[in-house]
Structure 1
Protein backbone atom coordinates (compact mmCIF):
# COMPACT_ATOMS: atom_id res chain seq x y z
CA UNK A 1 0.00 0.00 0.00
CA UNK A 2 2.83 2.42 0.88
CA UNK A 3 4.51 1.68 -2.45
CA UNK A 4 1.21 2.35 -4.27
CA UNK A 5 0.87 5.70 -2.45
CA UNK A 6 4.39 6.63 -3.51
CA UNK A 7 3.69 5.71 -7.14
CA UNK A 8 0.40 7.64 -7.04
CA UNK A 9 2.18 10.77 -5.72
CA UNK A 10 4.95 10.35 -8.28
CA UNK A 11 2.37 10.23 -11.08
CA UNK A 12 0.63 13.35 -9.74
CA UNK A 13 3.96 15.18 -9.57
CA UNK A 14 4.84 14.23 -13.14
CA UNK A 15 1.45 15.44 -14.37
CA UNK A 16 1.74 18.64 -12.34
CA UNK A 17 5.24 19.29 -13.71
CA UNK A 18 4.13 18.96 -17.33
CA UNK A 19 0.96 20.98 -16.72
CA UNK A 20 3.06 23.78 -15.22
CA UNK A 21 5.62 23.81 -18.00
CA UNK A 22 3.21 23.53 -20.91
CA UNK A 23 0.06 25.22 -19.62
CA UNK A 24 1.09 27.29 -16.60
CA UNK A 25 -1.33 25.33 -14.40
CA UNK A 26 -0.92 22.85 -11.55
CA UNK A 27 -3.49 20.50 -12.98
CA UNK A 28 -4.93 20.19 -16.43
CA UNK A 29 -8.47 19.25 -17.25
CA UNK A 30 -9.23 19.02 -20.92
CA UNK A 31 -11.72 21.65 -22.01
CA UNK A 32 -13.73 21.26 -25.18
CA UNK A 33 -12.35 23.48 -27.92
CA UNK A 34 -15.76 24.35 -29.33
CA UNK A 35 -18.78 23.47 -27.23
CA UNK A 36 -21.11 23.70 -30.23
CA UNK A 37 -19.14 21.50 -32.61
CA UNK A 38 -16.89 18.54 -31.95
CA UNK A 39 -13.42 18.58 -33.39
CA UNK A 40 -10.87 15.76 -33.53
CA UNK A 41 -9.62 16.38 -29.98
CA UNK A 42 -13.12 16.61 -28.53
CA UNK A 43 -14.10 13.35 -30.21
CA UNK A 44 -11.00 11.61 -28.86
CA UNK A 45 -11.70 12.89 -25.35
CA UNK A 46 -15.30 11.67 -25.49
CA UNK A 47 -14.18 8.23 -26.70
CA UNK A 48 -11.66 7.96 -23.86
CA UNK A 49 -14.30 8.89 -21.28
CA UNK A 50 -16.66 6.24 -22.64
CA UNK A 51 -13.94 3.57 -22.67
CA UNK A 52 -12.91 4.36 -19.09
CA UNK A 53 -16.51 4.32 -17.88
CA UNK A 54 -17.00 0.95 -19.62
CA UNK A 55 -13.96 -0.51 -17.83
CA UNK A 56 -11.75 -0.52 -20.92
CA UNK A 57 -8.74 1.42 -19.68
CA UNK A 58 -6.31 -0.63 -21.76
CA UNK A 59 -8.26 0.15 -24.94
CA UNK A 60 -8.48 3.81 -23.92
CA UNK A 61 -4.72 4.02 -23.42
CA UNK A 62 -4.09 2.35 -26.79
CA UNK A 63 -6.41 4.85 -28.48
CA UNK A 64 -4.69 7.72 -26.69
CA UNK A 65 -1.31 6.71 -28.09
CA UNK A 66 -2.69 6.04 -31.57
CA UNK A 67 -4.04 9.58 -31.67
CA UNK A 68 -1.32 11.36 -29.67
CA UNK A 69 0.53 14.21 -31.36
CA UNK A 70 3.31 15.84 -29.32
CA UNK A 71 2.85 19.07 -31.30
CA UNK A 72 -0.86 19.36 -30.47
CA UNK A 73 -1.47 21.00 -27.08
CA UNK A 74 -5.03 19.67 -27.03
CA UNK A 75 -3.77 16.10 -27.35
CA UNK A 76 -1.21 16.73 -24.61
CA UNK A 77 -3.95 18.13 -22.37
CA UNK A 78 -6.08 15.07 -23.09
CA UNK A 79 -3.18 12.77 -22.17
CA UNK A 80 -2.55 14.58 -18.88
CA UNK A 81 -6.26 14.61 -18.06
CA UNK A 82 -6.50 10.90 -18.93
CA UNK A 83 -3.63 9.86 -16.68
CA UNK A 84 -4.78 12.12 -13.88
CA UNK A 85 -8.28 10.65 -14.11
CA UNK A 86 -7.21 7.03 -14.03
CA UNK A 87 -4.64 7.73 -11.31
CA UNK A 88 -7.53 9.00 -9.16
CA UNK A 89 -9.43 5.72 -9.56
CA UNK A 90 -9.59 3.34 -6.62
CA UNK A 91 -7.21 0.39 -6.67
CA UNK A 92 -10.16 -2.01 -6.98
CA UNK A 93 -11.35 -0.25 -10.14
CA UNK A 94 -7.88 -0.44 -11.66
CA UNK A 95 -7.67 -4.14 -10.77
CA UNK A 96 -11.06 -4.74 -12.37
CA UNK A 97 -9.66 -3.10 -15.52
CA UNK A 98 -6.50 -5.22 -15.33
CA UNK A 99 -4.47 -2.01 -15.00
CA UNK A 100 -1.87 -0.98 -12.44
CA UNK A 101 -0.41 2.25 -11.09
CA UNK A 102 2.91 1.08 -12.51
CA UNK A 103 1.30 1.09 -15.97
CA UNK A 104 0.01 4.61 -15.35
CA UNK A 105 3.55 5.72 -14.45
CA UNK A 106 4.93 4.01 -17.56
CA UNK A 107 2.30 5.75 -19.69
CA UNK A 108 3.26 9.16 -18.31
CA UNK A 109 6.91 8.30 -18.91
CA UNK A 110 6.03 7.45 -22.52
CA UNK A 111 4.34 10.85 -22.89
CA UNK A 112 7.50 12.52 -21.57
CA UNK A 113 9.53 10.57 -24.11
CA UNK A 114 7.22 11.52 -27.00
CA UNK A 115 7.57 15.15 -25.93
CA UNK A 116 11.38 14.83 -26.03
CA UNK A 117 11.57 15.21 -22.26
CA UNK A 118 12.61 11.67 -21.37
CA UNK A 119 15.26 13.01 -18.99
CA UNK A 120 12.35 13.75 -16.62
CA UNK A 121 11.09 10.14 -16.67
CA UNK A 122 13.00 9.31 -13.50
Structure 2
Protein backbone atom coordinates (compact mmCIF):
# COMPACT_ATOMS: atom_id res chain seq x y z
CA UNK A 1 0.00 0.00 0.00
CA UNK A 2 2.78 2.45 0.91
CA UNK A 3 4.58 1.71 -2.33
CA UNK A 4 1.42 2.50 -4.29
CA UNK A 5 0.98 5.83 -2.42
CA UNK A 6 4.61 6.71 -3.06
CA UNK A 7 4.25 6.01 -6.77
CA UNK A 8 1.08 8.13 -6.94
CA UNK A 9 2.83 11.04 -5.19
CA UNK A 10 5.79 10.67 -7.52
CA UNK A 11 3.53 10.72 -10.58
CA UNK A 12 1.70 13.78 -9.25
CA UNK A 13 5.00 15.59 -8.63
CA UNK A 14 6.28 14.76 -12.11
CA UNK A 15 3.01 15.92 -13.64
CA UNK A 16 3.17 19.21 -11.73
CA UNK A 17 6.77 19.71 -12.78
CA UNK A 18 5.96 19.01 -16.43
CA UNK A 19 3.00 21.42 -16.33
CA UNK A 20 5.21 24.05 -14.76
CA UNK A 21 7.86 23.65 -17.44
CA UNK A 22 5.28 23.81 -20.24
CA UNK A 23 3.54 26.91 -18.83
CA UNK A 24 6.83 28.61 -17.98
CA UNK A 25 5.82 29.35 -14.39
CA UNK A 26 8.18 29.06 -11.48
CA UNK A 27 7.93 25.59 -9.91
CA UNK A 28 7.57 26.89 -6.36
CA UNK A 29 4.99 29.51 -7.33
CA UNK A 30 2.93 26.84 -9.04
CA UNK A 31 3.07 24.45 -6.13
CA UNK A 32 2.40 27.11 -3.51
CA UNK A 33 -0.45 28.47 -5.60
CA UNK A 34 -2.10 25.04 -5.70
CA UNK A 35 -1.53 24.28 -2.07
CA UNK A 36 -3.38 26.57 0.31
CA UNK A 37 -1.12 25.62 3.20
CA UNK A 38 1.68 27.95 4.10
CA UNK A 39 4.48 27.82 6.60
CA UNK A 40 5.41 30.93 8.50
CA UNK A 41 8.71 31.23 10.33
CA UNK A 42 9.57 34.28 12.40
CA UNK A 43 12.97 35.94 12.15
CA UNK A 44 13.88 34.73 15.62
CA UNK A 45 12.93 31.16 14.71
CA UNK A 46 15.00 31.41 11.54
CA UNK A 47 17.93 32.76 13.56
CA UNK A 48 17.71 29.81 15.91
CA UNK A 49 17.54 27.37 12.99
CA UNK A 50 20.57 28.93 11.29
CA UNK A 51 22.60 29.02 14.50
CA UNK A 52 21.86 25.36 15.17
CA UNK A 53 22.85 24.54 11.59
CA UNK A 54 26.18 26.32 12.02
CA UNK A 55 26.77 24.59 15.36
CA UNK A 56 26.17 21.18 13.78
CA UNK A 57 28.67 22.09 11.05
CA UNK A 58 31.24 23.23 13.64
CA UNK A 59 30.99 26.83 12.41
CA UNK A 60 30.74 28.34 15.89
CA UNK A 61 32.29 31.70 14.98
CA UNK A 62 29.91 32.06 12.05
CA UNK A 63 26.97 31.30 14.36
CA UNK A 64 28.18 33.81 16.94
CA UNK A 65 28.68 36.52 14.31
CA UNK A 66 25.16 35.97 12.98
CA UNK A 67 23.79 36.08 16.50
CA UNK A 68 25.41 39.44 17.27
CA UNK A 69 24.33 40.93 13.94
CA UNK A 70 20.73 40.06 14.73
CA UNK A 71 20.93 41.33 18.30
CA UNK A 72 22.37 44.63 17.09
CA UNK A 73 19.42 44.94 14.67
CA UNK A 74 16.81 43.93 17.23
CA UNK A 75 17.35 43.60 20.96
CA UNK A 76 14.32 41.35 21.45
CA UNK A 77 13.65 38.91 24.26
CA UNK A 78 13.68 36.03 21.78
CA UNK A 79 17.14 37.04 20.49
CA UNK A 80 18.39 37.21 24.08
CA UNK A 81 16.96 33.76 24.73
CA UNK A 82 18.62 32.44 21.55
CA UNK A 83 21.96 33.89 22.67
CA UNK A 84 21.72 32.38 26.14
CA UNK A 85 20.75 28.98 24.74
CA UNK A 86 23.62 29.21 22.24
CA UNK A 87 26.19 29.79 24.99
CA UNK A 88 24.56 27.27 27.32
CA UNK A 89 24.79 24.63 24.59
CA UNK A 90 28.45 25.44 23.93
CA UNK A 91 29.30 25.45 27.65
CA UNK A 92 28.51 21.72 27.71
CA UNK A 93 31.20 21.03 25.10
CA UNK A 94 34.70 19.98 26.10
CA UNK A 95 37.57 22.40 25.57
CA UNK A 96 38.96 19.95 23.01
CA UNK A 97 35.75 19.95 20.97
CA UNK A 98 35.55 23.75 21.14
CA UNK A 99 39.17 24.03 20.03
CA UNK A 100 38.41 21.86 17.00
CA UNK A 101 35.86 24.53 16.05
CA UNK A 102 38.28 27.41 16.75
CA UNK A 103 36.43 28.40 19.92
CA UNK A 104 37.08 28.22 23.67
CA UNK A 105 35.44 28.34 27.09
CA UNK A 106 36.93 31.83 27.52
CA UNK A 107 35.12 32.98 24.38
CA UNK A 108 31.85 31.65 25.80
CA UNK A 109 32.28 33.81 28.90
CA UNK A 110 33.28 36.82 26.77
CA UNK A 111 30.29 36.27 24.51
CA UNK A 112 27.87 36.21 27.43
CA UNK A 113 29.42 39.42 28.77
CA UNK A 114 29.10 41.06 25.34
CA UNK A 115 25.44 40.07 25.09
CA UNK A 116 24.85 41.42 28.60
CA UNK A 117 26.37 44.78 27.60
CA UNK A 118 24.15 45.00 24.52
CA UNK A 119 21.03 44.53 26.64
CA UNK A 120 21.97 47.01 29.39
Normalising by structure 1, report the TM-score: 0.63
Judging by fraction of residues, say which structure has more helix.
Answer: 2
Aligned residue in 1 for 2:109: 105
Q: Over aligned residues, Cα RMSD in angstroms?
A: 1.0
Cα distance, 1:110 vs. partner?
0.4
Q: How do 1:1-122 and structure 2 match up within 5 A?
A: 37-68=40-71, 69-70=74-75, 72-116=76-120
Aligned length: 80
Structure 2, gaps ≥5 residues long: 1-38
The separation in 2 between residues aligned to 1:82 and 1:75, in whole angstroms, is 10
The separation in 1 between residues aligned to 2:114 and 2:47, in whole angstroms, is 19
Structure 1, gaps ≥5 residues long: 1-35, 117-122
Cα distance, 1:97 vs. partner?
0.5
Cα distance, 1:37 vs. partner?
2.7
- When Rg is computed on C-alpha atoms for both structures, the one with the higher figure is 2
Normalising by structure 2, report the TM-score: 0.64
